[in-house]
Each structure stands twice: as C-alpha cells, then as structure tokens.
Amino acid sequence: SAVISQKPSRDICQRGTSLTIQCQVDSQVTMMFWYRQQPGQSLTLIATANQGSEATYESGFVIDKFPISRPNLTFSTLTVSNMSPEDSSIYLCSVTGFGEQYFGPGTRLTVT
C-alpha cells in the first residue's frame, strides 16, 4: 500500500480565514480523493482530485469553498476557505492502488 502523509496534522483557525492542507504520496497514483469526517460521523467525499484538470466535486461542495490542486501524481492540496465553526472536522486525503483505497492520517481542523 502507498504511504500517505498530510500536513498539518491539526490546526486551530479563526473564522473567516483559510487553511491549505497538503497530501503527499510516496508513489504515483491515479486517483486521489478528499474526504471530511465530522465528529461522530462517517466519511463524506468532498471531491476527486484530478491531475492536470479541475477537481470533480460532490453535491454540496463547491470549488470556491474547497479549491483543490493536483499538480502531479503524488501531491494534492485542499484549501478550506472563509472558514466557519461548521467546518471543524477531520479532513482526509485518500488514494487508490490496485483497486483498493488507502487513507492518510488526517488533518484535524478546529475553527473558533
């Protein structure tokens, strides 16, 4: 399986600011995804990060709020923009390899 790292591991941010989360994989992967997991909840897919093109967003998520970059096959960023307390969550990067999906360690975001 791929080794996935995320930075930062956690952060506390003020409302109205933005935070960019980085995801780095130790090998080239075709598909990368960004998920959100709110306290006590399951995983919600935010978007699929496409290399060299715009991300594909799920219903309820928009590019202005969650801009995503994917400049190459090993790296992606997710920005949470104009944050509010409702954005407090764990944000997870994941990749697929050999038909299976693996998750990074997550970024725990608290918005005050």
Partner 1 sequence: QKEVEQNSGPLSVPEGAIASLNCTYSDRVSQSFFWYRQYSGKSPELIMSIYSNGDKEDGRFTAQLNKASQYVSLLIRDSQPSDSATYLCAVTKGTSGTYKYIFGTGTRLKVLA
Least spacing, CB of residue 101 vs partner 1, in Å: 5
Residue of 49, 92, 95, 111 that binds partner 1 (CB under 8 A): 92
In angstroms, rounded to a whole number, what is the distance separating the alpha carbons of residues 103 and 32?
10
**DSSP summary character for residue 85:** G
Binding residues for partner 1 restricted to 4-23, rule: CB under 8 A: none
Q: Which H helix or E strand runs over 52?
A: none
Nearer to partner 1, 98 or 112 (CB): 98
DSSP E strand stretches across 8-111: 10-13, 19-25, 32-37, 43-49, 56-57, 68-72, 75-80, 89-97, 100-103, 107-111
Q: Does 105 bind partner 1 (CB under 8 A)?
A: yes
The verdict on 100 binding partner 1 (CB under 8 A) reads: yes
Residue whose token pair is 């801009």: 67
38 contacts partner 1 (rule: CB under 8 A)? no
User: Is 99 one of the binding residues for partner 1 (CB under 8 A)?
Assistant: yes
Q: Does 52 bind partner 1 (CB under 8 A)?
A: no
**Binding residue (CB under 8 A) for partner 1 from 22, 24, 48, 81:** 48
Residue 112 C-alpha from the chain's centroid: 20
Which residues in this chain contact partner 1 in the complex, by CB under 8 A?
Answer: 1, 30, 33, 41-43, 45, 48, 90, 92, 94, 99-106
